[in-house]
């Protein structure tokens, strides 16, 4: 059983909402060519009238005869009336922060908005309810022949008959509004948000399932849409479960598959979490274990790839989904196989590692047929172990092994030399592509060592201050979230930390790379403090952290940049724009 939500969490109830019902009489149908001749407004709250506003307005233009015949408002009648410049500020004050109601609201609101623009006043952009639109949704055609104000006023037995005079029509609209409220209450419409959803372009199923959003907690966590058999259809996360789930039943939800999902769902299961990080982690775990059919990630899991060295007599670089050999270094993860393939080609180019799939014996044997090597050997891109000498290739593999373990200096030097060559040849677009490759390799190096450090650390206890002065506390074990809690403002967090450590999950589980990445991102947030670690946290000095900052900073600074080489490590600074927004690379000693 959940606690009763506050008004702001449930949405403003119709009984507590202040409405101002407005009606205008004008000289025509368009605010560009016509002007307002009369304003009538009635303020209601809780079903009771709390104020009225009525005035004629001098339009300062002639009133057409057919308008005068329809409304009874003539040029003589408005001759001594105040102009819109005098009337409008008083009307805006009367409206205040109330919800504006009108029959065929676009007409009335359009004229008021245009008048504000003409008088250099700020239209407050209030929430608007159109009784004509509401009637079209709430009433059946066999009940009323049309949704004109006079027809609806008679249907709901309004004591006021619309007369095409502003105050009378506004009073009649009040009765129509209350009659419609009674009708839509049968559909579970009790709040202003419910009313907006009811009149929005939502499917019948969405409207029928709106009750599934009732009673949910307004707290961070995970929510699971389930069908009649209890199977999970969709998993989501939010900082406010109640508000987020409510949106699935409104016009703001435009995804076709989600609308279909809502039609099947019979319940929403909320799981309150201590923090947004815990909610994110739980969402990832549920999607991985439940495989809900309406989550895109269930059908198209996050495509991740790693680069590792094969376990062969003559190793080569290979792309794998998950590194399996703990003794072999792994580079990644990369977002998709295409990015991993580009990185593999770059590493093969830098270190001249073989790319062929030839099977080599454990002991080298001179191969007469390969005496001249292959085309890559002729281009200087392979040391040709196929010729029978493995040692040169072992040396380049060792260099690649060292780089993948966290020393990118050999990669940086090789690509920088290539950038110098391309710069001298004025091949600036090619140089830009190689700069991007260097950035990608550096980012992957940082990411792989960052995640690897978390996975090998037995326990990390970290805390982050909350906006209200409390603390979010997380227990991380081997790259997995093992516990989460909140210390309220003014409460000593240390006892809570001790309790979380004592009760945190000790089980051995498969670690999702995305979960570890989410934890790493949280640890990098400003304000996060390490309370305890079972071992020191460190990154290889030359794994590429500073290089990434320099390259990304330069890219943001300008479309065109100059790459300077200082002690073997590149840094970038912007120069003037160059046609085509290419990258120009220069080198300095």
164 as an active site residue: the answer is yes
Q: In Å, what is the CA distance from 580 to each residue of 438, 559, 583? A: 21, 9, 9
DSSP state of 9: H
Number of other residues whose CB lies within 10 A of the CB of residue 186: 8
Taking the CA atoms of 414, 416, 421 and 427 in sequence, report the sign of the dihedral they define: positive
Put the strands of the sheet holding 529-533 in their side by side order. Answer: 480-487, 471-477, 460-465, 529-533
Question: 431 is written with which tokens?
Answer: 């140089």
Q: Do 303 and 322 form a contact (C-beta atoms < 8 A)?
A: no
User: Can you tell me the distance from the alpha carbon of 463 to that of 436, in angstroms, rounded to the nearest whole number?
Assistant: 35
Listed residue (330, 345, 498, 365) closest to 415, CA to CA:
345
Give Rg (Cα) of the chain. 35
Taking the CA atoms of 413, 416, 421 and 422 in sequence, report the sign of the dihedral they define: positive
Question: 32 is written with which tokens?
Answer: 């560009």
Question: 563 is written with which tokens?
Answer: 């790459």
Please state the length of the chain.
Answer: 589
Q: Do 99 and 19 form a contact (C-beta atoms < 8 A)?
A: yes
Number of other residues whose CB lies within 10 A of the CB of residue 184: 18
Listed residue (267, 259, 284) closest to 230, CA to CA:
267
3-class state of residue 272 by DSSP = strand
User: Can you tell me the distance from the alpha carbon of 234 to that of 266, in angstroms, rounded to the nearest whole number?
Assistant: 12
State the catalytic residue, choosing from 103, 140, 164, 542.
Answer: 164
User: Can you tell me the distance from the alpha carbon of 242 to that of 206, in angstroms, rounded to the nearest whole number?
Assistant: 16
Listed residue (323, 350, 349) closest to 334, CA to CA:
323
The catalytic residue positions are: 164
């Amino acid at each position: 059983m959940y606690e009763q939500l506050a008004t702001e969490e449930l949405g403003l109830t119709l009984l507590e909402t202040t409405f101002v019902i407005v009606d205008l009489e004008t000289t025509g149908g368009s605010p560009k060519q016509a002007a307002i001749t009369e304003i009538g407004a009635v303020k209601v709250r809780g079903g009771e009238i709390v104020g009225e506003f009525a005035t004629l307005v001098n339009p300062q233009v002639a009133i057409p005869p057919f308008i005068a015949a329809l409304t009874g408002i003539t040029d003589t009648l408005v001759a001594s009336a105040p102009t819109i410049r005098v009337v409008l500020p008083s009307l805006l004050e009367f409206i205040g922060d109330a919800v504006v109601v009108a029959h065929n609201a676009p007409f009335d609101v359009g004229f008021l908005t245009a008048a504000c623009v003409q008088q250099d006043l700020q239209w407050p952009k209030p929430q608007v309810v159109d009784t004509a639109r509401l009637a079209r949704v709430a009433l059946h055609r066999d009940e009323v022949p049309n949704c004109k104000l006079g027809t609806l006023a008679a249907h709901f037995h309004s004591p006021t008959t619309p007369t095409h005079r502003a105050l009378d029509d506004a009073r009649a609209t009040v009765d129509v509004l209350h009659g419609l409220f009674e009708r839509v209450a049968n559909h579970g419409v009790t709040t202003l948000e419910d009313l907006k959803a009811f009149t929005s372009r939502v499917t019948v199923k969405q409207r029928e399932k709106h009750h599934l959003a009732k009673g949910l907690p307004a707290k961070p966590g995970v929510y699971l849409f389930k069908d009649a058999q209890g199977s999970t259809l969709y998993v989501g996360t939010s900082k406010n479960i109640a508000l987020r789930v409510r949106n699935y039943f409104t016009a703001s939800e435009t995804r076709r598959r989600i609308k279909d999902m809502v039609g099947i769902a019979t319940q929403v299961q909320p799981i309150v979490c201590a923090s947004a990080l815990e909610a994110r982690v739980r969402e990832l775990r549920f999607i991985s274990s439940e495989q809900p059919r309406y989550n895109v990630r269930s059908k198209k899991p996050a495509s991740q790839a790693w680069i590792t060295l094969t376990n062969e007599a003559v190793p080569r670089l290979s792309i794998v989904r998950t590194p399996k050999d703990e003794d072999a270094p792994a580079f990644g993860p990369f977002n998709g196989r295409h990015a991993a393939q580009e990185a593999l080609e770059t590493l093969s180019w830098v270190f001249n590692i073989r790319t062929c799939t030839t099977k080599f014996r454990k002991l080298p044997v001179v191969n007469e047929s390969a005496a001249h090597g292959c085309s890559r050997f002729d281009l200087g891109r392979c040391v040709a172990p196929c010729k029978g000498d493995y040692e040169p290739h072992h040396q380049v593999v060792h260099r690649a092994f060292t780089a993948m373990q966290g020393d990118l200096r050999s990669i940086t030097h090789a690509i920088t030399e290539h950038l110098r060559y391309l710069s001298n040849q004025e091949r600036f677009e090619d140089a830009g592509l190689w700069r991007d490759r260097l950035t990608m390799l550096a980012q992957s190096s940082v990411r792989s060592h960052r995640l690897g450090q978390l996975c090998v650390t037995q326990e990390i206890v970290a805390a982050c201050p909350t906006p209200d002065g409390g603390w979010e506390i997380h227990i991380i074990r081997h790259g997995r979230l093992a516990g989460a809690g909140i210390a309220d403002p003014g409460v000593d967090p240390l006892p809570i930390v001790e309790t979380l450590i004592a009760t945190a999950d000790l089980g051995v589980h498969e670690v999702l790379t995305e979960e570890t990445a989410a934890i790493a991102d949280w640890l990098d947030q400003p304000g996060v403090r390490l309370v305890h670690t079972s071992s020191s946290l460190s990154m290889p000095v030359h794994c590429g952290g500073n290089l990434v900052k320099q390259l990304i900073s330069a890219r943001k600074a300008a479309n065109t940049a100059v790459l300077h080489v200082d002690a073997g490590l590149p840094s970038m600074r912007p120069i003037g724009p160059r046609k085509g927004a290419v990258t120009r690379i220069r080198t300095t000693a």
